[in-house]
Every structure is written in structure tokens, then in C-alpha cells.
Amino acid sequence: MSDRLILLVDNDSTDVDSLTQQLSPFGYGVDHCRNVSDIGERITARKPSVLLVRVDSGPASGSETTIETVARILTDGDHKTPTIFLADDYDMKSRLASIRIGARAFFARPFSPLELVDALDLLTEPQEEDPFRVLIVDDDERISEFYMAALEHAGMQAMALSNPMKVLDALSDFRPELVLMDQYMPEIEGWELGAVIRQEDAFLSIPIVFLSAESDPDKQLELMKIGADEFLTKPISPERLVAAVRIRAERFRRLRSMMLRDSLTGLLNHTTTKEQLSIELSRMRRGKMSLAFALIDLDNFKTVNDTYGHPIGDQVLKTMSNLLKQRLRMTDLIGRYGGEEFAVALPDVSPSNAMLVLDKVRETFADIKQMYNGGEFSVSLSCGVAMFPDFDDLSALTEAADQALYKAKTKGRNRVVMAVPPSASESAKSS
């Protein structure tokens, strides 16, 4: 599969040119064919990441709709290509037909190019594959082992806690995405333990699923009032247990991601960026490794908004975020620091390598053509970099990067500046 290649099926050349221009700043290449009947041949020759089909692009035969033709070609050729449909208006029949064949999205005009990019990003970006973490709280070790075996067989990571009085420590250390809890335990009842968990802000949103032989709906309702998310009645089959846990854990992970990430760019938000940077610094300190922290600011961004409008400004911000995700490592930390400012942390790199990587990002971004109403423009960036352990705590590191960014701006913008280590600065003064 070609990286971020879109096969666009559309018989309107104006639409093709417009979509190609709109998708280009976000790193998507567009292959094009006019007729839906050519899809199979084109996919075989060059497999795309996503198939983007205009609903009225012409059927393969007079008896089939565009959507039916796409379904037949993909099925006959055993192609697994994710498909998105575009329509000129909100056609409920077409929308329903697209759902029935497993289409991943359906857009009716007018739609925002950023909405389409968001859908494409979901289909092309690497998805989180970490197993769900489940904390089992039950004084009966045999039952706990049964639950653990069922969940681990389903690919989850489970931890059993037989002493409910240690639940807060377990929550802090294990960081579960769901708590599976017995209702009746010797020292404390489930509803009491649930209330204790809900008193802690850090654990307020973690799903709590109670397991018990209790079948009285009134008592179950009382448990729901104190913060239980679901009530499962014993005995329970492994299949039902796994399904219930997976549904709740998936929802928690999605909601947590929404809380931790910037809604426009999908990057970590300001608060989460600083929290994760603090964690990374601790890890670097323990491992005696270096870390580069960079603050990136888009040059003259207010002028972009004033001249081209805020939707185009949002396009520029998403272009920047996509470029950072493409050019940096999975282990690197990327966040939107605020407005047009981005933060990047590069663990275990030398100052020279950090400067090389960030300067390449700067050059590439400046070369990207931002599109607007048939025209185009470019935006540059300025960047300030500071190194750990030259600056050995969070406050000093971020302040040094900010000062380096200020120097980059005052020196003419469109450049990367490295903060001078305190020791080097003092040596220069003494000499």
C-alpha cells in the first residue's frame, strides 16, 4: 500500500483538481480515474491507502449504482481498501447503501476539506495498538484467575487485586482503563470502594463494572448512582465478559484521547504536553540520556488569518501538525502549545541531530503551497531549541527554548536557534 495515496474516482476534472490541491498540503498524493469500472485495474497496479469515490461517477453497467459497482469490484478482487463516498447532496438512499457495503465515511456537499482530511487521517495514521488494561478487584483468587485468563486470551492486560484496601495504589501504578469489581467483599463492599475511587479526580472517569450474583434491579440501580458504569450478573460467560469490558474500555480510551488532545490538530494539548514532557525528563534523567525540546511558532500567522480567513488558517495549522507527525519518530512528543505554537520533544538525540531534523522540518514546511480560492501562498516557521541536561528541569528547559525562539524571531524569522547552555554562556562571559 502506497503511503497516503488516495485513488480518486471522479469524472469532473474541476473537482479532481480542487481536491488534489486541497489534500496536497496534508501529505496526500492523488491518483485519479474517471470511471468507477476502472477501480479494480488501478488498485491492482498501485494500491492506494483510501478509495475516494464520487457517487455519480458512472456505473460499470446500466443496472448498477456507483456504490453497488464499487462493492462488487472490491469483493470480486478481494480488495480491502477503505472507501469514502462523496455526493452532491444529502441522499439518504446512497448514504444507507454506503453503510451496507462497509464504507468508512460519506460526505455531502458542501463539506469542509478539513473534515475530509480528518477522516483520511483516521484511516491512514497508525492506530493505537496497546492492549486494554483491566484491574480486577475480587477477594476470591480463583474467580480473579478465571477473569484474568479470559481477558488475557482476548489480548488484554489484566491485574488482579485481592486486597481492595490497596486499590488506590493499584490504580496509580497500573493505570487501568477499566475496573472490574466484585460487589461483596469481606472488608469493604463494592459500592463503598467505588465511592472511594470516585472521590479521586484522577480516577473519576475510569469505567467501573460490577460483577455479582445480585439480580435485584433496585440494588443494581443504587450501585449505578454511585458511579458504576455497568452491572454484570454472575455467572458470566468468558465471551460476554470480554465483550462488555472491550466496549467500555474502547469508549474510555476514545474519551480520554479527546480530553488529552487538541480538537483541530489531534496533537496533545498544552496541559498534556507539559505533563508528558515532565515524564520524559524523569525517564531521561534515570537513563542518563539527552533530550531536545523545541518550541515552533508559525511566522506572521495573524496576517494569514486576516488575509485569507480563519478556515485557511486552520488548514495551515493542520498542515504543520501533519508534517510533524510524518517527519518525527513515534517515540517523539508532539503537542500544540497554544495558538500557532507547537512543542516537540526528541528523546535521546544529540544537539546536532536535533538541529538537523528540525531545520529539515522548517525547510519542508516553507516549501508547502497553501491553497485558497484557486491561489496559493507559503508560510515559514521559527524554532527555538533547548537541550536536557544542559537545562536540567522542566521550567529551565521550556524557558530556554522560549528565549531561543525569541532570538529566531528577532533575527529575521524562518530559522532554528539552539539555546546556549549555561556553562558555555558563563565561559564566554569570563573570557
Each residue of 297-327: pLDDT tens digit? 999 999 999 999 999 999 899 999 989 988 8
Of 99-103, 138-142, 187-191, 395-399, where does mean pLDDT reach its minimum? 187-191
Q: What is the pLDDT of residue 294?
A: 97
Q: What is the pLDDT of residue 21?
A: 80
Q: What is the pLDDT of residue 64?
A: 78
Question: Three cell numbers at 257?
Answer: 484521547
pLDDT at 363 > cutoff 60: yes
> Residue 49 in contact with residue 124, Cβ under 8 Å?
yes
In a domain, 265, yes or no: no
pLDDT at 90 > cutoff 90: no
Q: Find the mean pLDDT for residues 238-244.
A: 92
**What is the total count of domains within the chain?**
3
Q: Does one domain contain both 285 and 373?
A: yes
- Spatial separation of the C-alpha atoms in residues 28 and 323, rounded to whole Å: 11
> Residue 370 in contact with residue 315, Cβ under 8 Å?
yes
Q: Does one domain contain both 249 and 285?
A: no
Q: Find the mean pLDDT for residues 89-106.
A: 88
Q: Does one domain contain both 320 and 421?
A: yes
Question: Of 85, 105, 124, at which residue does a domain stop?
Answer: 124
- Spatial separation of the C-alpha atoms in residues 153 and 177, rounded to whole Å: 17
Q: Where are the alpha helices (H) located in 162-265, listed in sequence order?
A: 167-174, 190-198, 217-225, 238-260
Cβ neighbourhood burial of 3 (10 Å; 0-12, 13-18, 19+): exposed
Q: What is the pLDDT of residue 419?
A: 95
Mean pLDDT over each residue of the chain, to the nearest integer: 87
Quick one: what percent of the chain has pLDDT higher than 90?
48
In a domain, 109, yes or no: yes
Q: What is the pLDDT of residue 256?
A: 78
Q: Does one domain contain both 290 and 342?
A: yes
Of 194-198, 221-225, 410-414, where does mean pLDDT reach its minimum? 221-225
Q: Does one domain contain both 17 and 114?
A: yes
Quick one: what percent of the chain has pLDDT higher than 70?
92
Q: What is the pLDDT of residue 429?
A: 54
What does R_g of the chain's alpha carbons equal in angstroms? Answer: 26
Question: Of 100, 124, 148, at which residue does a domain stop?
Answer: 124
Beta strands in 202-320 (DSSP E): 208-212, 230-233, 291-298
- Spatial separation of the C-alpha atoms in residues 134 and 119, rounded to whole Å: 30
Cβ neighbourhood burial of 254 (10 Å; 0-12, 13-18, 19+): exposed
- Spatial separation of the C-alpha atoms in residues 88 and 99, rounded to whole Å: 17
In a domain, 264, yes or no: no
User: Which residue type, as a one-letter code, is found at position 373?
Assistant: N
Q: Which range, 18-32, 177-191, 244-258, 309-323, is most confident?
A: 309-323
pLDDT at 265 > cutoff 60: yes
Question: Of 206, 230, 259, at which residue does a domain stop?
Answer: 259
Q: Find the mean pLDDT for residues 244-256.
A: 87
| Among candidate residues 293, 295, 317, the one with its CA nearest the CA of residue 379 | 317
Question: Three cell numbers at 428?
Answer: 564566554
Question: Three cell numbers at 112?
Answer: 469542509
Question: With bands split at pLDDT 50, 70 and 90, how would you rate the model's confidence at 430?
Answer: low
In a domain, 67, yes or no: yes
Range of the domain at 335: 270-430
